[in-house]
Structure 1
Amino acid sequence: MQGQRSIIIAVFSTSSGSGKTITAINLAAGLAEEGYRTCLVDLDLQFGDVMGYLDMVSDITLADAQRAILQDEENFRIDDYLTEYRCGETSFAVLPPPREINDAYQVSVEAVEKIIGSMKGFNFIVLDMTAVFSTLNLSLLDMSTVITYVGVMDFLPAVKNYKVGYDTLLRFQYEERKICLVENEADPDRYIKAQDVERLLGAEFFHHLPYDYQAITTSIRMGRPLLYSVPLSPLTQSYWRLVDRFTNRRNTEDQHKENSQQEKKNFISRLWRKVNRQKAYLAR
């Protein structure tokens, strides 16, 4: 697999409760359902809840992978440290966070970079990140192909927080086309309108996720992504459209976006061509 690079989707936010973990899980599930070899990495090192959401248990975590890769990088095999999530015929890999707080403090940027870099056999790597601009997060945002920046625009402090985070990403010189702005819990009847937030940001949202508390509750109770537990939910359908956009399977409404979105669409199209090359290579 040498020379092949995965598409890395960082799911990032600057506030807790933004829905980034649910977004990361359903992106991974949707990409896997579409036939791509996908790995979901839980990088909330102290309080990650991907495993709990998916009702999974594993004794092997990122901490074990770190020890192994630092001791013998040449013989390191990432597959030895991944846990498989399976639903029916579809599966994706999960790299859990450390189980102990002390292990979380010992995780190094160098080791995580090497671990992510070793995942060359995957078409997509989805990173569920913490809501801070830490050294580790900045390093992984650098490595990422796309930054899915999630936020809930339900009251003014949240909007301010989201703008500060977006401005910070730009100050760190991440290209605007690399940052996909995602509004979670979108509600057309809400006092704060998406158009007003877009004017404040000086950028358009890439995607809107509708509010659907009942669907999320059912999904968590069943220990399955929304795509498998409540397939007819409006939120589930919105996640499918988001997956489609990352794989270039755009529907009619996507094709009629404003011209200001064209550059970002072209960027996603280039990612899609890259995935096709990877799939052809892996099929040999």
Structure 2
Amino acid sequence: MQSATILMSGVRPAIQARLRSEFQDAEIVPLGDGRGHPAPARNGATSAAVVSLDGDPERGFRVVRELSSAGVRVVVLGLTKDPDLILHAMRAGAREFVLAGDDAELARALRDQVKPNRSADASRIYAVFPAKGGVGGTTLATNLAGAFQRGGNRTCLIDLNLNMGDVLAFLDLQGGYSILDVIANMRRLDRQLLDSTLVQHASGVRVIAQSHRIEESDRIEPALLSSMLRFLRQHYRAIVLDGLRSFDEVSVAALDAADEIMLVVTQEVPAVRDARRCVDLLRRLGADDKLKLIVNRFQKGLQITPAVVSETVGLPIAATVPNDYPAVIRAVNRGQLLFEEAPRSATTKGVEQLAALLGRAPADEAETRPSLLKRLFARGMGHAAQ
């Protein structure tokens, strides 16, 4: 591994000296006032930072936001473990919060950021993004999650339709630990406790939704969602995101975290036209390498052929999932996955093939990409998403 760059903001000289001794192969770079900091990773080296809140917490939070938006993994050093202080730090983009004076914990936290957990590196986040409503996005997301789980991958399915999500209904599950519950308890949840806490489908897929706490949905901020997804990467090999229907800030944060964005379309003019609009925007955001065009409910002989879809949308078709509407409806009404209800269905086989295709994708270092959220709102492109 190349020498890492560790940035320091507001950290006392004595602490810096101890960290230099602990991380002898790393370059320790003080930031001074936090402005004009160096690039997050020079010559491909992993970069992390320690930001102290001692003296001026608000200034510290500003530095955390600047660094995290640039892709730097930040450890915050605080004088007290005040819950509001920790929450504020996480909202700003911090990965860890350590109590000042706990040198061993600081070294451990910083080491985790300089050399990220291998299970997190191996994890993949798959965002299912329907070009329009009614193209079968939730059906695809739930069954894709099931296919990953059957393939031996610990899988978590997250419903990001925070107001009227359908995942729990599709799987005949009652609301359990919500997105906000996970965010509030990340620091105390280990793998065993996380597994026992989240609602689980018979297939083994763990599910997180917000359905039973709709009134609190506006408390889910982009930075908090990003922190939760980073946390879940450490515990699940496959994370499938459903419920993405727009380019609001929370949705863009989810797309930003994803390794693959599956743009789902059907052989209908409105769906194809909307898919083209989505592609145009996502390309301007620099997400070309994440996009995969999926034709759902595919039928041969229709006037809108795969070639027409591909040419109009401006992307090659990565996969087609055949149409078997009766089997899909039976599965949904029984709260089952297609594999359980109709294992020989063409739709089931199509989902299995898609899972195999996605499973062959190489693991990316997602954090080297520019932030989609930052690009979207910095360029004033909000109107383009409407």
Query: Shorter-chain TM-score: which interval?
Result: 0.7 to 0.9
Residues of 2 paired with 1:123 and 1:160: CA distance?
Answer: 34
SS in 2 for 1:188: coil
Letter in 2 for 1:146: E
What aligned pairs does 1:84-103 form with structure 2 within 5 A after superposition?
84-87=200-203, 91-103=204-216
| Mapped pair 1:121 → 2:213 | no
Match in the other structure for 2:297: 185
How many Å apart are 1:98 and its aligned residue? Answer: 3.7
Match in the other structure for 1:131: 245
CA contact (8 A) 2:264 2:294 kept: yes
Residues of 2 paired with 1:59 and 1:123: CA distance?
Answer: 21
Residues of 2 paired with 1:216 and 1:134: CA distance?
Answer: 30
Match in the other structure for 1:271: 363
Bigger RCO of structures 1 and 2 (CA < 8 A, at least 6 apart)? 1
| Mapped pair 1:18 → 2:132 | no
Match in the other structure for 2:257: 143
CA contact (8 A) 2:164 2:211 kept: no
Q: 1:35 aligns with which of 152, 155, 158?
A: 152
What aligned pairs does 1:30-69 form with structure 2 within 5 A after superposition?
30-66=147-183, 68-69=184-185
Length-normalised TM-score, structure 1 = 0.80
Which runs of no fewer than 5 residues in structure 1 stay unpaired? 249-267, 273-284
Q: Residues 208, 148 of structure 1: CA spacing in aligned structure 2 closer, same or farther, 3 A cutoff?
A: same
How many Å apart are 1:237 and its aligned residue? Answer: 0.8
Residues of 2 paired with 1:220 and 1:80: CA distance?
Answer: 25
Residues of 2 paired with 1:27 and 1:158: CA distance?
Answer: 21
Residues of 1 paired with 2:351 and 2:174: CA distance?
Answer: 25
Match in the other structure for 1:277: none
Q: Deviations over 1:73-121 (max 9, x none)?
A: 533454464211124xxx1211122413311222222221111111112
Residues of 1 paired with 2:179 and 2:296: CA distance?
Answer: 29
Q: Deviations over 1:204-256 (max 9, x none)?
A: 110011121101111112211111111011111111111111223xxxxxxxx
Q: How many residues align?
A: 243
SS in 1 for 2:135: coil
Letter in 2 for 1:23: L
SS in 2 for 1:23: helix
Tell me the percent identity: 26
How many Å apart are 1:187 and its aligned residue? Answer: 1.6
Letter in 2 for 1:121: H
CA contact (8 A) 1:83 1:95 kept: yes
CA contact (8 A) 1:40 1:126 kept: yes
Higher alpha-carbon Rg: 2
| Mapped pair 1:9 → 2:89 | no
Length-normalised TM-score, structure 2 = 0.60
Q: 2:199 aligns with which of 83, 102, 110?
A: 83
Q: 2:331 aligns with which of 219, 230, 234?
A: 219
Q: Residues 100, 75 of structure 1: CA spacing in aligned structure 2 closer, same or farther, 3 A cutoff?
A: closer
Letter in 1 for 2:182: A
Residues of 2 paired with 1:76 and 1:108: CA distance?
Answer: 20
Letter in 2 for 1:215: A
SS in 1 for 2:280: helix
Residues of 2 paired with 1:98 and 1:109: CA distance?
Answer: 18
CA contact (8 A) 1:62 1:98 kept: no
Residues of 1 paired with 2:160 and 2:252: CA distance?
Answer: 12
